[in-house]
Structure 1
Amino acid sequence: MSRTFSPSRPTRPPRTFPAKTAFPGLALVFAAFFFAAGAPTPLLSLRQQEWGFSAGTLSLAFAIYAIGLLAALLVGGSLSDHLGRRPVMLIALYTELIAMIAFMVASTITWVIIARALQGIATGIATGAFNAAIAEQAPSHLKKLAGGLAGASVAGGLGIGALVTGAAVQFTADANLLIFAILTGVMILGIVFVSFTSETAVKRPGAVRSLTPRLSIPGKIRREFAAGLPLHIAGWMFPAFFLGLSPVLLRLHFALDGGLVAGFTAFLGPFSAAVATFAFGRHPARHSSLAGVSFILLGILAVLFGINATWLPAVWIGAVLGGIGFGGSFGGQIRLIAPHIQPHQRAGVFASIYAAAYLAFSLPVIIAGQLAPVWGLVPTLLAYGVTLSAFAAVGIVIQAVLLKSESTPKPALARSTVTANSRPD
């Protein structure tokens, strides 16, 4: 009896989420990284009271995250341009998962600092890959929204993470265990989700060579990138103030120890930034950049007034104003640069942008933490605010000059002049 062989069936490609699901889903997973980054703000203040470490150690524990993130950006920021988006996103998620577990079991500030550094490395690996993947998964009619959604994920995640954790500190017996157990579960879900998203990048050779630390800024965007640096410095120094320094300010200057007030104060700016990102997205990018950096200046002036007058509502008003400005200015700069980036350059360029951003997010806070015991808390914070104001003022001038030059009518073509002059009398 002969056996009949049927032709072999082609192997089915693995099932993946459609773009309309992958696009918002990846933005939510990316936001989870920054929710986790904002979560330690109220917890670090609580740990300082329990474990008795110095203000300098507190600022280091906050800023080591940004240092790890910056290192990962410089080394692996363009890795997904070579290996693909999905493998790099998964590496980031597994590293973040280890960091969440380390936070959950940490018993000393040393372990918290190690967990915070791991968290920064994970977020640095994620930044270029997720920004590029979100832009590439966006449906064609939502391409303009993609950059804003990625920016809103960063700001909104930081703010909501601080607020939720602050509430947990206020109302639960073990906020650290609760928050990081939940985040551990979130990262596992993120791993599952990303595993079923389609690959959007064409793999290219040179992955090992791409690990050499360098910035990737194509010639077409170098002028715009340089013009945006004062804006990025002022913009990212602003949320760093609230996430890294405001818990100490509240406790020592305003005599407020509650986790909820610390979380709420840290929440206002980033959340306002996330909302503003979408509101400003309806307006031209240059106008958004100029208006945004102007709001940042108004915000820090209100904060400085509140500190000097010991009036907390002014600090909160300043947080909202500066947050609005951060959302408008950062989103505007992304929209000015994004159209000029080739697909294979996306991860590297986003890594360069965030490298500048996170230097501004980390170094001033570390310096302030070291100076506070010498100068005093309030003088140090006032100096921080004045420095931020100076960068914002420079950013306003640069963006105003660029806006004016772009609005000036172009001179008539020489050919038109020749034609007019050649008419018979």
Structure 2
Amino acid sequence: MTSLCPTALAAPAPPRRRLSPNAAFLLQASMTLGFLAGSSAPTPFYAIYQNQWGFSATMLTLAFGIYALAVLSALLVGGRLSDHVGRRPILIAAAAAQAVSMLVFATADGLPDLLLARVVQGLSAGAAIAAAGAGLLDIDKGRGAIANSVAPMMGTAAGGLLAGLMIQYLPAPMHLVYALLGSIFVLQGAAVFFMEETAPVRPGAWASLRPRLAVPLAVRGPLLLAAPALVAVWAMAGFYASLGPTLIRSFAGTTSILLGGFALFVLAGSGALAVYLIREASPTALVRLGAFALIAGMALVMTAIAQHSVLLFLLGSAVAGLGFGTGFQGALRSVVLLIAPQERAGVLSVLFVIAYLAMGLPAMVAGYDVAHQGNIVVTAYEFGSGVVLLALLALLGTARR
């Protein structure tokens, strides 16, 4: 009688189910959106934290700036890592760290806890933005460029609006919003486990951790021409994140946190809509349109400040948002379509370093200026004039093309 060995009797293990490319694309886009939403969700609570814990306006500015610094550190140190170890490990670790930061936010009882949460949040967001952005390009270059433009804008706006809605209408908002976002990050991290890896493992992972802002030779010229547009649109985002809520509440004569977040939502919402509607235009045409819209939008906003008009401020925000969306998409597409697959995360890291410096540094300077000068209107005029000047430089860049 023939005997069968145990291995012959064992049934083959069923293959692990994998997400389709389209599902993996949507998952990574949702992670970029979710991480940016998590970064803006604490913003409406800052005034509440300040009243409860009694820290100064300068410390409030530090809470905003330390996040940007943590993101920059992660982009500089780990931005290229997913090009060597793959996208999945980075995204799983980043989602877990984001969930931990939500827990720290929810249980915070002082400024040190708030700063710790912002550091953990910034480090994980910086690593994930580069990995997810590169993963989107791995799957589809064209759609990936659009998603890399839309997702950060919508995430930045959605987090603040979500927090504002919860403060206005739901109980325990300072715990509920973090519990909701933390649960989303856990689910996203679990879903990444079923994603197909799109970046093969390559040697050089440890070497990639050395801080370096190097880009391939073929990309340097387009990046230099795109930089003014990147700086202009993200400096404007910093304007809205740091000064916008206080300005519009002063016009309306209200303390509504929801109204303060609505202007940022209008800006990002019109930007995302513009990206979708004008996605077939050339990168140069997009940057040119974005620069004109930025100038027109900021002119309307500064007029609204002079006239204390909420309606005109929101209209200017919508026009400026058109510039935000088209300018960012045009700058991004002029660079990312030239990147080789093994260089995607590294080059995206450089692009987002420029963006976060443009958003964080002027906003911190503006916060310091308001805290010491006490005149937010003068600071807003100075900030807005700087954005207009940058938009003019972006127009010169399109002329050079």
Report the TM-score, using the length of structure 2 for normalisation: 0.95
Question: Retained in 1: the 8 A contact 2:28–2:133?
Answer: no
Question: Retained in 1: the 8 A contact 2:79–2:127?
Answer: yes
Structure 2 counterpart of 1:350? 348
Q: Look up the equivalent residue of 2:379 and give its one-letter code.
A: T
- State the 1:364 CA deviation: 0.6
Q: Can you list the C-alpha shifts for 1:73-103, whole angstroms capped at 9, x where unaligned?
A: 0000000011111001111111111111111
Question: Retained in 1: the 8 A contact 2:249–2:259?
Answer: no
- State the 1:220 CA deviation: 0.6
- State the 1:293 CA deviation: 1.7
**In the TM superposition, what are the counterparts of 1:122-141 in structure 2 within 5 Å?**
122-138=124-140
Structure 1 counterpart of 2:307? 309
- State the 1:10 CA deviation: 6.1
Question: Retained in 1: the 8 A contact 2:287–2:398?
Answer: yes
Query: Structure 1 residues 15, 260: CA separation in 2 closer, same or farther (over 3 Å shift)?
Result: same
- Tell me the C-alpha RMSD between the 2 structures: 1.8
Question: Retained in 2: the 8 A contact 1:239–1:323?
Answer: no
Cα distance in 1 between the residues matched to 2:98 and 2:391: 33
- State the 1:352 CA deviation: 0.3
Question: Retained in 2: the 8 A contact 1:238–1:388?
Answer: yes
Question: Retained in 1: the 8 A contact 2:267–2:320?
Answer: yes
Structure 2 counterpart of 1:3? 3
Q: Look up the equivalent residue of 2:3 and give its one-letter code.
A: R
Q: Can you list the C-alpha shifts for 1:361-420, whole angstroms capped at 9, x where unaligned?
A: 101111111111333221112111111111111111221342xxxxxxxxxxxxxxxxxx
Structure 1 counterpart of 2:35? 33
1:171 to 169, 172, 177: 169
Question: Residue 78 of structure 1: SS of its match in structure 2?
Answer: coil
* Bigger mean CA offset, 2-11 vs 239-248: 2-11
Q: Look up the equivalent residue of 1:395 and give its one-letter code.
A: A
Structure 2 counterpart of 1:294? 292
1:96 to 95, 98, 116: 98
Query: Structure 1 residues 245, 55: CA separation in 2 closer, same or farther (over 3 Å shift)?
Result: farther
Cα distance in 2 between the residues matched to 1:64 and 1:280: 35
Cα distance in 2 between the residues matched to 1:128 and 1:301: 34
Cα distance in 1 between the residues matched to 2:338 and 2:321: 27
Question: Retained in 1: the 8 A contact 2:81–2:208?
Answer: yes
- State the 1:162 CA deviation: 1.4
Q: Look at both structures and tell me which one has the larger radius of gyration over its CA atoms.
A: 1
Structure 2 counterpart of 1:390? 389
Q: Can you list the C-alpha shifts for 1:17-41, whole angstroms capped at 9, x where unaligned?
A: 1112111122112211111122122
**In the TM superposition, what are the counterparts of 1:111-150 in structure 2 within 5 Å?**
111-138=113-140, 143-150=141-148
Q: Does 1:243 align with 2:249?
A: no
- State the 1:312 CA deviation: 1.8
**In the TM superposition, what are the counterparts of 1:169-318 in structure 2 within 5 Å?**
169-251=167-249, 254-318=252-316
Identical positions, percent = 31
**In the TM superposition, what are the counterparts of 1:76-95 in structure 2 within 5 Å?**
76-95=78-97
Q: Does 1:399 align with 2:366?
A: no
Q: Look up the equivalent residue of 1:394 and give its one-letter code.
A: L
Cα distance in 2 between the residues matched to 1:119 and 1:311: 36
Query: Alignment length, in residue pairs?
Result: 398
